[in-house]
Structure 1
Amino acid sequence: MNAYQPPYTITQEILNRVAAISEVVGRLTVLTDQAKSLRLRRINRIRTVHGSLAIEGNTLSEAQITAILEGKRVIAPPREVREVKNALDAYDHFENWRPESEEDLLEAHRILMSGLIDEAGMYRRSGMGVMAGREVIHMAPPAHRVPHLMNDLFGWLAATDAHPLIASSVFHYEFEFIHPFADGNGRLGRLWQSLILARWNPLFADIPVESLIFEHQAEYYQALQESTRQTDSAPFITFMLRMVLDTVTSSTPEVAQEVTPEVRLLSALGREMPRQQLKEALGLKDDEHFRKAYLLPALEAGLIEMTIPDKPRSSKQKYRLTDKGRLRLARHGDGNRPRPA
């Protein structure tokens, strides 16, 4: 019998979110069964891969990931292209993996990190510190303890009667705390939570929770740190359930999943707006993410333009829709207006 029990507290907020997610997922499952679409599954797979890798610093856009998926040549850093190919390959194996199988997790890591590190598919053999800039924010357990800790964690997952929404979040946190691999811990931890959820409801194989985590990645890391500080994963569970609830609430099988960052930006830009106001209208906090994922792609695509183009850094600079942007927005219709993240 597995005696290991990860420390976590079930708060009323956690229970309320589990109930809310279960209700939405129930409705969404019926709709999705009526409107299955390989095209939408493909769109969401691309968004999932983009979100997970972007958290780790990969700069490739959804358009570039789509091109790689289609076998087209992409001019980008070779390592980043390899990361995308590996992630797409991993999700191709997604349905064959069992959440409670340590062997499957090692295989997933081997695929995700193939050609990127020497220890792909093997637990780390040295100490590991998680850095934020030059600051060590977490010292992972010693390497010699990793196999034992992971065995305990898988034993708990196989035996627990906790709701999968809670169990998947606990596993994700504990996995990141152990930090069992030399690299790739973040992307694999998120993938494994999706796998646990997908075994509860297949809908989670196609819902891109990763893209929302990317938009809130500062909070993601804060929740991890706060759980470590409290020796209780409740803060991380609470955060992850909010991400899941926001994702399933804004997902419909027909249209909402097709809303790209550019379309979200166009929908928010009802009039000329300065950069900060536009970012706030989208519900975004991270300035660099807003610039790279929203502002620059929309400018480069000719969907928006600057009001003072010859002085891009002017304090009076604003942005407005172009005719091309209005046409793009009209194709999606007012009924598709996205809610703030």
Structure 2
Amino acid sequence: MSAASSYQPPYTITPEIVNRVAAIGEAVGRLSAVAEQPRALRLRRINRVRTIQGSLAIEGNTLSEAQITAILEGRRVIAPPREVQEVKNALAAYDRFPAWRPEEEGDLLEAHRILMSGLIDQAGRYRRGGVGVMAEGRVIHMAPPAGRVARLMGDLFGWLVATDDHPLIAGSVFHYEFEFIHPFDDGNGRMGRLWQSLILARWNPLFADIPVESLVFEHQAEYYQALRESTERTDCAPFIAFMLWMIQDAVISSAPQVGPQVSPQVGELLSVMEGEASREALQAALGLLDRKSFRQRYLKPALEQGLIEMTIPDRPNSRLQRYRLTEKGLLFAG
């Protein structure tokens, strides 16, 4: 065994971790059985957008899923140039995702170069100065000195190659250790999450399309708390348990759900929906003249079944109101 591969990050495999690994394995098995169904395939792009939106939002990017989708489709978006650049970089990185190998340090450096291109001077290179991790306006972790970064990253990659631990555990450990080292001037959070996703995708390709990062964004406070608690304990078991919780929820929410049969009218409505549309536009697309009938037989049932949603839910009668398919609706839109 080489010196690099003899490194052992400090972590404890708790009963909670073992149980979550088992539960995720079962959920992934169920998801694999339906993953190639045509309707399931329709979720892949929206999940990719959710992943990018979630990861960048943790770092302060304000662009919505709709704006990210517009950038993906090559449409112009009015937003801060840096935030648009972050999205373009993330889209480019995920295009390269299938080619990267999680155990290759050079691939990680290339990924950082793409993610941070045009955003920092040292894109694709380890930092040369000190850096601290901030949360809620205060420093919660001072990263190791820059002079130790290359050796620490070498040790971490050596461990990843040598470990026999399940990829669900190994990916979480790598993620935590990466954040502890904080090897780059900027982009460490999005890189740590990206690399854990890559480790998971090499275990099961389904993870290339499961939006774990959007759930991490929804539980951002717990994410930072798990990092802090692991550092205080010198044992990253709390972070492993947290990430497994996120992964389990993401897998379950990504599975096409068996729902109630939709009425012919609701089915017709779903079939004409593309992007965001007003009530008038949808009614016209269906060739319907009676506004009350359209609302009662088409619009209201689709909303109640969670197949479509309002773009301005807190102002249902707004003249600017639009309607769009939900993820559940995408499955029924066939």
Q: TM-score range by the shorter chain?
A: 0.7 to 0.9
Matched position secondary structure for 2:133: strand
- The residue type equivalent to 2:245 in the other structure is R
- Tell me what 2:313 maps to: 303
Give the Cα separation in 1 of the matches to 2:312 and 2:6.
Answer: 59
| 1:77–1:302 Cα change, 3 Å | same
Give the Cα separation in 2 of the matches to 1:136 and 1:76.
Answer: 29
Give the Cα separation in 2 of the matches to 1:97 and 1:28.
Answer: 24
| 1:126–1:34 Cα change, 3 Å | same
Aligned-residue sequence identity (percent) comes to 73
Per-residue displacement from partner, 1:279-305 (whole Å, max 9, x unpaired)? Answer: xxxxxxxxxxxxxxxxxx96xx34332
TM superposition shift of 1:251: 1.5
TM superposition shift of 1:41: 1.4
- The residue type equivalent to 2:234 in the other structure is T
TM superposition shift of 1:34: 3.6
- Tell me what 1:94 maps to: 97
| 1:109–1:178 Cα change, 3 Å | same
Cα RMSD for the two superposed structures: 2.9
Q: Does 1:199 align with 2:225?
A: no
Q: Does 1:32 align with 2:42?
A: no
Give the Cα separation in 1 of the matches to 2:27 and 2:194.
Answer: 22
Structure 1 residues 1-341: aligned runs within 5 Å: 1=1, 2-35=5-38, 39-253=42-256, 301-305=311-315
Rg larger in 1 or in 2? 2
Give the Cα separation in 1 of the matches to 2:327 and 2:12.
Answer: 46
- Contact between 1:303 and 1:323, CA under 8 Å: does it hold in 2? no
Give the Cα separation in 2 of the matches to 1:72 and 1:123.
Answer: 34
- Contact between 2:11 and 2:236, CA under 8 Å: does it hold in 1? yes
Q: Kindly tell me the number of residue pairs found equivalent between the two proteins.
A: 284
Quick one: higher RCO (CA 8 Å, sep 6+), 1 or 2?
Answer: 2
TM-score (norm 1): 0.77
Give the Cα separation in 2 of the matches to 1:88 and 1:329.
Answer: 23
- Contact between 1:47 and 1:62, CA under 8 Å: does it hold in 2? yes
TM superposition shift of 1:176: 0.2
Give the Cα separation in 2 of the matches to 1:186 and 1:331.
Answer: 27
Matched position secondary structure for 2:196: helix
- Contact between 2:35 and 2:41, CA under 8 Å: does it hold in 1? no
Unaligned runs of 5+ in 1: 257-261, 271-296, 306-319, 337-341
- The residue type equivalent to 1:230 in the other structure is R
Give the Cα separation in 2 of the matches to 1:103 and 1:22.
Answer: 30
| 1:329–1:158 Cα change, 3 Å | closer
TM superposition shift of 1:326: 11
- The residue type equivalent to 1:119 in the other structure is Q
Give the Cα separation in 2 of the matches to 1:206 and 1:80.
Answer: 23
| 1:37–1:159 Cα change, 3 Å | same
TM superposition shift of 1:324: 9.9
TM superposition shift of 1:139: 0.4
TM superposition shift of 1:40: 1.9
Per-residue displacement from partner, 1:45-67 (whole Å, max 9, x unpaired)? Answer: 10100000000000000000001
TM superposition shift of 1:37: 5.5
- Contact between 1:209 and 1:243, CA under 8 Å: does it hold in 2? yes
- Tell me what 2:283 maps to: none
